[in-house]
Amino acid sequence: MVSISVVIAVAVLAFTLGVFAARRSSREKVIWEAPLSGAAHDAAIADPQLRSLLEQKETIAAIKRYRELTGSGLKESKDAVDALQRSLSGQ
């Protein structure tokens, strides 16, 4: 027969391993980023609403609009909008 102390030790060990596994998996982020080229990107940078937002210096709204049009992640969208803003201010 198994003593109660062995059962408790096994339960504590299983709990501890579960906590560590959960912490490890929560740090692993899988983010799909669409490329900065392609039809969706080309259509987005030609979007009149996006360009209007940039002309009005509404950068956050422009990033949101870019994300809606392309399905890109936040960082890629910010980078694309920043690049478009630089190219528009250089014209």
21-25, 39-43, 72-76, range with the lowest pLDDT: 21-25
Answer yes or no: do 82 and 45 share one domain.
Answer: yes
Answer yes or no: do 78 and 43 share one domain.
Answer: yes
Answer whether residue 20 shows pLDDT above 80: no
Domain count, the chain: 2
Answer yes or no: do 84 and 52 share one domain.
Answer: yes
Answer yes or no: do 64 and 85 share one domain.
Answer: yes
Instruction: Give the predicted TM-score (pTM) of the model.
Output: 0.59
DSSP calls for the chain: ---HHHHHHHHHHHHHHHHHHHHHHHH--------S-SHHHHHHHT-HHHHHHHHTT-HHHHHHHHHHHH---HHHHHHHHHHHHHHHHT-
Average pLDDT over residues 32-44: 71
- Say which amino acid occupies 4: I
Residue 26 CA to residue 51 CA, distance in Å, equals 37
Answer yes or no: do 19 and 54 share one domain.
Answer: no
pLDDT digits (tens, 9 = 90+) for 43-87: 888 999 999 999 999 999 999 999 999 988 899 999 999 989 988
Domain of residue 7: give its range: 1-30
Answer yes or no: do 52 and 73 share one domain.
Answer: yes
